[in-house]
Amino acid sequence: MKIAFRVDESDRSKLQSILDEDPVSRLSIKQKNSEALDIDSEGIIAVLEGEDGVCNQAKEKISEFGEELEADEMEMVVEAMDKAEEEAAEGFGSIFGG
């Protein structure tokens, strides 16, 4: 299962607290500031992927203060995150002549 949320910057510590909890911390977690992703959104974007039961636990907690993204928006966000990671890796590689 894969889920994504938009969380206000003011709720960053709440989000991090949930993401650090076991078993949620065992999920594949990506989070970025929306400005870094160059998308029309504000706040922190978190994408969680893994076991359905654990994702549902995280979803229940994060939904109290964050907004779950619809499938089409989540796809756009995941693509933007992947692109940002690729660009960062390319930049890092060029530093070391890779």
pLDDT single digits (tens) 39-85: 777 899 999 999 999 999 999 999 999 999 999 988 988 888 888 77
For residue 67, the cross-strand partners are: 6
Q: What does the alpha-carbon distance between residue 48 and residue 53 come to, in Å, rounded to a whole number? A: 12
pTM, two decimal places? 0.83
Q: What does the alpha-carbon distance between residue 52 and residue 69 come to, in Å, rounded to a whole number? A: 17
Q: In the chain, what are the domains?
A: 2-95 (3.30.70.240)
